[in-house]
Structure 1
Amino acid sequence: MAIFGAGSTWYGSDEKKDYFFEKGIYEIGWDYPDAKDLYDAFSLLKAGDIIYLKSSSPGSRDIRVKGVGIVTTSFLHSLFLGSNPSKLDIESEEITVRMQVKWIIKNDFYISIPMSEGKMTNVRAATFYEESLPYVQKEIIDKLFP
């Protein structure tokens, strides 16, 4: 099991969290040709992984968590199965992968990372990443399983 942070605001102001909650999915707001590195990272998701929707500025110690869910299908199954199938048009390179997610927490909460955790980088400002800071991992797990 791994924990992943994921953005949910597209084009700077188009918030997608309610759409993700309603459809039981998560998808990256980029087409494959524009974000091959994100799709490589996205392909690491598997059933049982935790994903949290977040908002954070580069170098900030504060994370606004907008929702937390559990991935319910593997990357491969998400390509072909489910009520929200992925879009694969290889010729036009229009590719969008929708991961099936059971959203458990659908309201905002904040995580403030203490100074004792060291300097903060711009990792949490990225669109999608595996969360590696034990402090943040514990905060997410404690919210899921109080």
Structure 2
Amino acid sequence: MAAVDVGGTPELLETLRDTVQHFLQAEAGARLACVGVMKTTRIGMDELVDAEGSSLHVKQLVALKHWARPLQQALGLDGLDRSGRVTFHVLEAPDAANAIVEFARRNEVDHIIMGARSASPLRRYLGSVSAQVVAESDCSVTVVRDPAGRG
């Protein structure tokens, strides 16, 4: 499973894609669920469309598919993947980490690969999505760092 924040930096998204590709090539027949989380509010109304009236859910799904296109090409799955080897999911939840962990449990995922942005002091204090997923997941988790955040 690749947990993808399509709003991440281009460098992080590329590094995440390269890492996922490495795992897929090493494990013949592996399946990949590309998962994004659309954050919702716990109380109140959520904005489900952007200013132009386009569905935010659909936009995120399209962005996930765009992110994974090079992976599909590398696996020889150009166009529609009728094998089901690569699937796409946009979860809607107020807590991204919990949504990722629960999706992994329900779908018996054996490995989560996800990105992590460079740590700000506030993020270190409050914790990050990736740290929560590592702490709560029942499976292996690989966290890929933003190359721009390395120092």
Fold match (TM-score > 0.5) = no
Q: State TM-score, norm by structure 1.
A: 0.27
More helix, by proportion? 2
More strand, by proportion? 1
Q: State TM-score, norm by structure 2.
A: 0.26
